[in-house]
């Protein structure tokens, strides 16, 4: 499933990384990614939710309906143990890839 | 998280998904300070997103299956003939198997409703007259039973016995029911518990005890509205056995699923055989026993053997023990026939599967280029093979569903046609067991028909296939298809031989010389209620008037009143008979002789002649008279002349605890033996015809049969008979049947089996013909070019046709030889069902082979004709 050329893989990495900071709902995740990347990355909202469900089905995250502090019902996701392991794996391979690309760019 | 957890991970509902997206839109709108519409626009196409979310949760295999199903459906739409044909063929096979299983489940498979039923046996003695065959069912004189088995014999843990008879609940809304006499331990030996009240105790089962009754659950519900207060009530029972009405307290109710081991009974009573059975009184009972663990029925027979001398019979008669598992006893002859039919339907299902496999292979052959193309553009060959397997599974599901409809209709036919004496067939229904079997059969046949085509797809989809031309198809190799056709022909021949043998046997049964003439005979049976006919005189008056008026009906030549008549059933009662002047040993068990009470015209009505003496006469004053059949004379007088001698049947019953002795009957004549058993193939049994006259202790009063010989068609007389009865007593119900109808009932079993097997064989033959036709056509189409060349260089159309026919003929012969071997093995199992036909009967075999050859040659004719008329120019130009 993990395939670095797959744009979905990037989205998964971002979702898992966001959730590593703590449980969050879909909108919160989208917002966090935008803010953390200083609006460099904009999440395609149409693919965010299917990606969340894919991760849920694969068992990397768990979902639960809760009420947010401002009284809104939201489906909140949290990282599972497998999810944490998975995050570590793809983080590493992603860093390797990014490092490689950076070197190539420097020498090109 | 393990695999299992992941598999069962809860799928969020559609509402969850909708609400999650709604929440997102609301939060986005709030955060960005825009309206909902703008926020929704930012999300993109909400519907599409939700669809994408949903798709995440749908299992991949399901997705693939849906694709395959869709693809298969489209290809069926393009060739509906193939799909419909294949589904119909398989549905017939599955439907027939399912229906037959449903009909015969209770005979063959379903466990009996008793505790540990595999140790329950029926025990008894079977007797054969000199030169005759052993009886069908085992029983025992009740006297021997009580004397010999006062302590339980070694092979058994416990023994018990029963006997059933007709009785009537003589109360308001009287009702004829079956009563059963049982030992007090009867239910405990079977392992059955009453649902209400108590079981019989040993104290209930002694001759001096007041009678008590257990009633069936059905009777409890029907007559007492399932009221638990029934235990405070009595039932007023009327039966010829007791000679008087008796109020019997009800002490318990049997469980709803209870069935008697054999025969049926609504009311059980203690048989009260102990402490003694009076000397000359001999009745017959049916003993049952529970085997000790580890003892087989055969072993039990051997262990009982020394006791056989104590139940010895008349000189020349042979007797032997018969210990059978209860299941075998219940099924009786039906079990063998049932296995036979199951075998036949299995063969039929196999033929149907072979036929469909064959059709599918032909399809693969047709579509090989398509498959090869698909393989070339990237469909995995495994994926293509899976597609073929999916097609076969869908085919079997469609066939299974239509098969259920066919099974329902067939089952109804079976139940309607089934011969009497097949246990449980009237209650046969499509229950859970049947559905499970139907689904299993469906899956098995689906895999069976798909496996071969799937493998051949693998071959077809190999890359070189695309390059090849139609002259060298690697796909459905004709050799495989011919092998399938050969197998089909072989199985078909086996079925054909079986069915011709059975038809021959049926013909023999139907043309058995009966010894009496049942044509132009009509019978009326009436059971009089004891409440409306409380005395013997009243009942006699009814029948006397009936007889007198029937006799004077136009078109009636002779009329007789009797307690039973030959076509449908053996004599009403059986009793030991003593010959005057011959000393009887008090403890020697005696052979029971069938008794029939008849008025003098009985012999004229059935056209039975007299070989010695005279028939009964109307003016026989004074001494009661009797006519014996030849077997009875032989049995009782051992070669001496019986006419003029006197005989006395053992007492029929008790009155006030004392047996009522019968008078001496003078033998006035002897008639030839006529068929009088339960089936036409039963050898005639000894019987005595007692003159039914006023003043003699008559038959079981209340049940009698009027038989008329007519010149007119019997059905025409039926209307006037009904009129007469309703004139005498409008409330009296009667059954009117013609002699032919009664005879038809007797041949129901062979008729049923022969009919079914012939139906299977005919269908199988048609399928085989269709298979051969398809292969031969395929072969001709495939060789069009070769044939064209041969014709171009001078071969005559006849040569070409002969070649096609010759080739098909080789396969037919191959199939016929294999079929002969199969048939030879199969018909040995059939032998027990055959009456006066050998399993290797040359006529039946010749007939079956001729039918096979003719139909198959017809199937080859068209392909051969087409081959002969190939236009060489067109053939060579094509491709």
- The residues that bridge with B704 in the sheet, in sequence order, are B526
Residue A4's pLDDT is 39
Chain A residues with CB-CB distance to B42 below 8 A = 45
Q: How far is CA B525 from CA B554, B558, B831, in A?
A: 20, 17, 37
Mutate to test the interface with B, among A24, A25, A27, A73 (most CBs of B within 10 A): A27
- Inter-chain CB pairs, A–B, below 8 Å: 74
ipTM entry: 0.87
Tokens matching residue B509: 């049964």
For residue B121, give the nearest of B287, B284, B307, B265 by alpha carbon: B287
What's the mean pLDDT in B30-46? 85
Residue B544's pLDDT is 84
Residue B162 predicted with pLDDT over 90 = yes
Chain A residues with CB-CB distance to B28 below 8 A = 27, 45
**Closest chain A C-alpha to B291 CA, distance in angstroms:** 59
Residue B620's pLDDT is 55
Whole-angstrom Cα distance, residue B246 to residue B659?
17
Residue B132 predicted with pLDDT over 70 = no
- Is the minimum CB–CB distance between B28 and chain A shorter than 8 Å? yes
Using CB atoms, pick whichever of A54, A59, A75 lies closest to residue B6: A59
- Is the minimum CB–CB distance between A36 and chain B shorter than 8 Å? no
Residue B122 predicted with pLDDT over 90 = yes
- Is the minimum CB–CB distance between A8 and chain B shorter than 8 Å? no
Residue A5's pLDDT is 44
A49/B52 Cβ within 8 A:
yes
Q: Would you place residue A2 in the very low, low, confident or very high pLDDT band (cuts 50, 70, 90)? A: very low
pLDDT in tens, B505-529: 888 888 888 888 888 899 888 877 6
Q: Would you place residue B619 in the very low, low, confident or very high pLDDT band (cuts 50, 70, 90)? A: low
pLDDT in tens, B423-474: 677 778 888 999 999 999 999 999 889 888 888 877 766 655 555 544 444 4
pLDDT higher at B460 or B29: B29
Q: Would you place residue B416 in the very low, low, confident or very high pLDDT band (cuts 50, 70, 90)? A: confident
Nearest Cα residue in chain B from A83: B1
Strand B573-579 vs strand B646-649: parallel, antiparallel, or unpaired? antiparallel
Whole-angstrom Cα distance, residue B408 to residue B102?
9
Residue B281's pLDDT is 53
Whole-angstrom Cα distance, residue B765 to residue B759?
10
| Phi, psi torsion values for B669, nearest 5 degrees | -170, 170
SS3 B505: helix
Strand B156-169 vs strand B234-238: parallel, antiparallel, or unpaired? antiparallel
**Closest chain A C-alpha to B379 CA, distance in angstroms:** 21
A46/B48 Cβ within 8 A:
yes
Chain B residues with CB-CB distance to A26 below 8 A = 20, 23-24
Residue B324 predicted with pLDDT over 50 = yes
Angle at B776 between CA B774 and CA B780, to 5 degrees: 115
Residue B587's pLDDT is 52
Whole-angstrom Cα distance, residue B523 to residue B471?
73
| DSSP per-residue letters across B541-603 | HHHHHHHHHHHTSTTEEEEEEES--TTT-S-SEEEEEEETTS---TT----EEEEEEE-TTHH
Nearest Cα residue in chain A from B23: A74
B19/A59 Cβ within 8 A:
no
Chain A residues with CB-CB distance to B57 below 8 A = 53, 57
- Is the minimum CB–CB distance between B279 and chain A shorter than 8 Å? no
Tokens matching residue B839: 């399993």
Q: Is B296 left (phi over 0), alpha (psi -120 to 50) or beta?
A: beta
pLDDT higher at B238 or B313: B238
Strand B573-579 vs strand B592-598: parallel, antiparallel, or unpaired? antiparallel
Kindly report which listed range (B343-352, B545-554, B658-667) carries the lowest average pLDDT score: B658-667
Residue B204 predicted with pLDDT over 90 = yes
Chain B residues with CB-CB distance to A45 below 8 A = 24, 28, 42-44, 49
Using CB atoms, pick whichever of B5, B20, B26 lies closest to residue A49: B20
Mutate to test the interface with A, among B24, B50, B62 (most CBs of A within 10 A): B24
What's the mean pLDDT in A11-38? 89
B55/A75 Cβ within 8 A:
no
Residue B315 predicted with pLDDT over 60 = no
- Is the minimum CB–CB distance between A80 and chain B shorter than 8 Å? yes
Residue B870's pLDDT is 84
Angle at A28 between CA A26 and CA A30, to 5 degrees: 70
pLDDT in tens, B693-724: 654 545 444 557 888 898 888 878 888 888 89
Name the average pLDDT for chain B: 83
pLDDT higher at B536 or B803: B803
Q: Which residues of B578-588 are buried (b: 16+ CB within 10 A; e: fewer)?
A: bbeeeeeeeee
What's the mean pLDDT in B256-271? 89
**Closest chain A C-alpha to B20 CA, distance in angstroms:** 6
Chain A residues with CB-CB distance to B16 below 8 A = 65, 75
Residue B334 predicted with pLDDT over 80 = no
């Amino acid at each position: 499933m993990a395939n670095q050329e797959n744009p979905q893989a990037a989205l998964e990495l971002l979702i898992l990384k966001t959730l590593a900071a703590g449980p969050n709902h879909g909108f919160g995740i989208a917002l966090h990614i935008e803010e953390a990347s200083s609006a460099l990355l904009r999440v395609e909202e149409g693919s965010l939710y299917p990606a969340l469900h894919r991760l849920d089905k694969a068992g990397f995250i768990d979902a639960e309906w809760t009420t947010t502090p401002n009284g809104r019902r939201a489906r909140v996701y949290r990282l599972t143990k497998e999810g944490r392991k998975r995050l570590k794996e793809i983080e590493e391979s992603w860093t390797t890839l990014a490092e490689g690309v950076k070197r190539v760019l420097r020498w090109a | 998280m393990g695999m299992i957890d992941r598999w069962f991970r809860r799928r969020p509902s559609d509402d969850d998904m909708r609400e999650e997206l709604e929440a997102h839109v609301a939060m986005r709108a709030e955060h960005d300070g825009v309206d909902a519409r703008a926020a929704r626009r930012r999300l993109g196409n909400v519907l599409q997103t939700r669809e994408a979310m949903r798709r995440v949760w749908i299992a991949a295999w399901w997705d693939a299956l849906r694709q395959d199903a869709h693809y298969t459906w489209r290809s069926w739409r393009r060739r509906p003939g193939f799909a419909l044909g294949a589904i119909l063929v398989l549905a017939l096979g599955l439907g027939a198997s399912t229906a037959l299983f449903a009909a015969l489940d209770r005979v063959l498979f379903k466990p009996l409703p008793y505790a540990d039923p595999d140790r329950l046996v029926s025990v008894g003695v079977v007797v054969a007259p000199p030169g005759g065959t052993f009886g069908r069912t085992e029983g025992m004189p009740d006297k021997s039973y009580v004397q010999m088995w006062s302590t339980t014999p070694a092979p058994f843990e416990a023994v018990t016995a029963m006997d059933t008879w007709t009785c009537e609940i003589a109360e308001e809304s009287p009702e004829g029911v079956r009563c059963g006499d049982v030992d007090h331990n009867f239910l405990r030996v079977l392992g059955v518990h009453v649902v209400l009240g108590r079981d019989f105790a040993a104290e209930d089962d002694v001759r001096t005890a007041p009678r008590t009754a257990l009633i069936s659950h059905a009777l409890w519900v029907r007559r007492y509205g399932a009221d638990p207060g029934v235990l405070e009530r009595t039932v007023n029972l009327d039966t010829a056995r007791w000679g008087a009405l008796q109020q019997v307290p009800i002490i318990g109710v049997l469980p709803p699923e209870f069935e008697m081991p054999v025969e049926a009974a609504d009311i059980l009573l203690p048989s009260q055989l102990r402490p003694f059975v009076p000397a000359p009184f001999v009745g017959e009972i049916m003993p049952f026993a529970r085997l000790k663990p580890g003892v087989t029925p055969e072993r039990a027979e051997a262990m009982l053997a020394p006791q056989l001398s104590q139940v010895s019979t008349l000189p020349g008669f042979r007797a032997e023990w018969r210990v059978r598992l209860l299941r075998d006893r219940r099924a009786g002859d039906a079990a063998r026939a049932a296995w036979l039919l199951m075998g036949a339907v299995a063969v039929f299902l196999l033929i149907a599967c072979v036929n469909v496999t064959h059709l599918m292979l032909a399809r693969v052959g047709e579509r090989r280029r398509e498959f090869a193309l698909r393989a070339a553009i990237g469909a995995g060959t495994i994926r293509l093979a899976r597609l073929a397997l999916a097609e076969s599974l869908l085919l079997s599901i469609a066939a299974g569903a239509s098969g259920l409809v066919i099974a329902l209709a067939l089952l109804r036919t079976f139940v309607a046609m089934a011969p009497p004496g097949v246990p449980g067939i009237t209650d046969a229904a499509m229950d859970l067991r049947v559905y499970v079997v139907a689904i299993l059969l469906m899956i098995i046949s689906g895999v069976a028909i798909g496996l071969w085509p799937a493998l051949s797809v693998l071959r077809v989809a190999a890359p070189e296939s695309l390059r090849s031309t139609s002259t060298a198809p690697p796909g459905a190799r004709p050799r495989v298809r011919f092998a399938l056709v050969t197998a089909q022909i072989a199985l078909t021949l086996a079925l054909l031989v079986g069915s011709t043998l059975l038809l021959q046997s049926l013909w023999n049964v139907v043309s058995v010389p009966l010894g009496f003439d049942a044509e132009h005979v009509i019978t009326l049976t009436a059971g009089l209620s004891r409440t409306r006919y409380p005395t013997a005189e009243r009942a006699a008056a009814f029948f006397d008037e009936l007889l007198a008026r029937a006799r004077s009906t136009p078109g009636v030549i002779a009329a007789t009143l009797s307690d039973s008549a030959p076509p449908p059933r053996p004599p009403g009662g059986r009793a030991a008979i003593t010959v005057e002047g011959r000393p009887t040993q008090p403890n020697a068990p005696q052979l029971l002789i069938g008794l029939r009470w008849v008025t003098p015209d009985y012999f004229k009505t059935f056209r039975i002649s007299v070989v010695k003496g005279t028939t009964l006469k109307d003016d026989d004053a004074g001494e009661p008279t009797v006519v014996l059949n030849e077997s009875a004379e032989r049995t009782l007088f051992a070669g001496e002349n019986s006419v003029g001698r006197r005989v006395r049947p053992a007492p029929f019953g008790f009155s006030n605890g004392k047996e009522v002795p019968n008078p001496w009957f003078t033998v006035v004549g002897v008639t030839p033996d006529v068929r009088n058993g339960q089936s036409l193939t039963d050898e005639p049994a000894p019987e005595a015809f007692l003159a039914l006259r006023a003043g003699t202790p008559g038959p079981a009063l209340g049940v009698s049969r009027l038989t008329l010989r007519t010149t007119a068609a019997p059905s025409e007389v039926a209307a006037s008979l009904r009129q007469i009865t309703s004139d005498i007593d409008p409330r009296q119900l009667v059954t009117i049947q013609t002699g032919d109808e009664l005879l038809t009932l007797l041949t129901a079993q062979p008729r049923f089996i022969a009919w079914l097997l012939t139906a299977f064989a005919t269908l199988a033959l048609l399928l085989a013909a269709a298979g051969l036709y398809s292969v031969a056509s395929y072969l001709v189409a495939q060789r069009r070019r070769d044939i064209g060349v041969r014709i171009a260089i001078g071969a005559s159309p006849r040569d070409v046709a002969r070649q096609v026919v010759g080739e098909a003929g080789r396969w037919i012969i191959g199939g016929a030889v294999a079929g002969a071997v199969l048939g030879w093995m199969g018909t040995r199992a059939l032998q027990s069902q055959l009456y006066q036909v050998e399993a290797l009967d040359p006529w039946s075999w010749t007939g079956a082979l001729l039918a096979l050859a003719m139909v198959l040659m017809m199937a080859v004719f068209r392909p051969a004709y087409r081959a002969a008329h190939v236009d060489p120019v067109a053939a060579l130009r094509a491709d």
